[in-house]
């Protein structure tokens, strides 16, 4: 029976030590060359997952409740072996282009649209949260433990209202039923984000910019910038 189910789902021997759960109405399309290793995939009835040629997924926990996830050809998603890396789409879309190496966590809600351009690398510990719009261009290098948020992540309620919601939702503390304040984030092409740098809502980062380690971007910066500090400031790059 399991072999028959695998055949119907297009699962081959390369997909080891994982699970795939498809709700009725979910759409799952994968090229025959796709490799899944130690991945958990759950698709809701309004979910679409498209995996193109030579995609490789390892140690990822993917849950698309409502929306679309599309991963381009020759892209690698390499999660943590310690419990797996989370990629959650509650409602929205994530498109990862060809020839990327991605090790980040994703949270996409409230119809948010997130896209990552080709030949981009995103390292371990990085978190991308999208409630509206996050666009990351081509040939970017994003280091370890970076935060890219287009959202406040939580609404700012009164003490009484927050306490009321917390008691009602317990043990799910901090659940959000309403979209927090959000603003689009755009990271251009050929950028380099240093370790533990932070890009917050509304920021536009111009092409060929370098962001220093631990910098916190709260305002947009033009192309060819060197960005540093908390809150971040910038100056034009100089040729060494």
Catalytic residues: 154
Q: Among 119, 47, 50, which residue's Cα sits nearest to residue 89?
A: 47
Name the strands in the sheet holding 121-122, side by side, starting at the edge strand that comes first in the sequence: 35-37, 56-58, 76-78, 101-102, 121-122, 141-142, 192-193, 210-211, 225-228, 233-236
Length of the chain: 240
Residue pair 107/129 in contact (Cβ under 8 Å)? The answer is yes
Distances (CA, A) of 122 to 22, 105, 116: 28, 10, 10
On whether the CB atoms of residues 205 and 191 are closer than 8 A, the answer is: yes
Contact (CB, 8 A) for 224 and 236: yes
Q: How many Cβ atoms from other residues are within 10 Å of residue 112's Cβ?
A: 26
Token pair of 198 as six digits: 């932070």
CB-hemisphere CA count at 13 Å for 82? 2
What's the CA gap between 224 and 3, in Å, rounded? Answer: 54
For the chain, how far is it from start to end, CA to CA, in angstroms?
64
């Amino acid at each position: 029976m399991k072999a028959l189910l695998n055949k119907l789902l297009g699962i081959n021997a390369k997909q080891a030590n994982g699970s795939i759960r498809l709700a009725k109405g979910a759409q799952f399309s994968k090229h025959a060359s796709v490799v899944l290793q130690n991945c958990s995939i759950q698709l809701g009835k309004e979910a679409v997952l498209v995996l193109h040629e030579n995609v490789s997924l390892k140690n990822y926990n993917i849950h698309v409740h409502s929306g679309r996830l599309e991963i381009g050809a020759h892209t690698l998603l390499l999660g943590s072996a310690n419990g797996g890396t989370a990629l959650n789409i509650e409602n929205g879309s994530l498109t990862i282009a060809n020839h990327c190496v991605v090790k980040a966590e994703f949270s996409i809600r409230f119809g948010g649209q997130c896209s990552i351009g080709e030949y981009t690398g995103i390292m371990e510990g990085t978190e991308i949260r999208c409630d509206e719009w996050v666009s990351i261009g081509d040939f970017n290098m994003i280091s370890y433990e970076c935060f890219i948020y287009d959202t406040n992540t939580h609404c700012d309620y009164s003490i009484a209202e927050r306490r009321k919601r917390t008691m009602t939702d317990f043990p799910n503390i901090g659940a959000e039923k309403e979209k927090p304040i959000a603003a689009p984030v755009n990271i251009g092409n050929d950028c380099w984000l240093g370790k533990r740098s932070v890009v917050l809502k509304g920021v536009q980062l111009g092409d060929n910019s370098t962001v220093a380690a631990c910098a916190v971007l709260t305002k947009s910066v033009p192309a060819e910038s060197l960005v540093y500090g908390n809150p971040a400031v910038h100056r034009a790059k100089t040729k060494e």
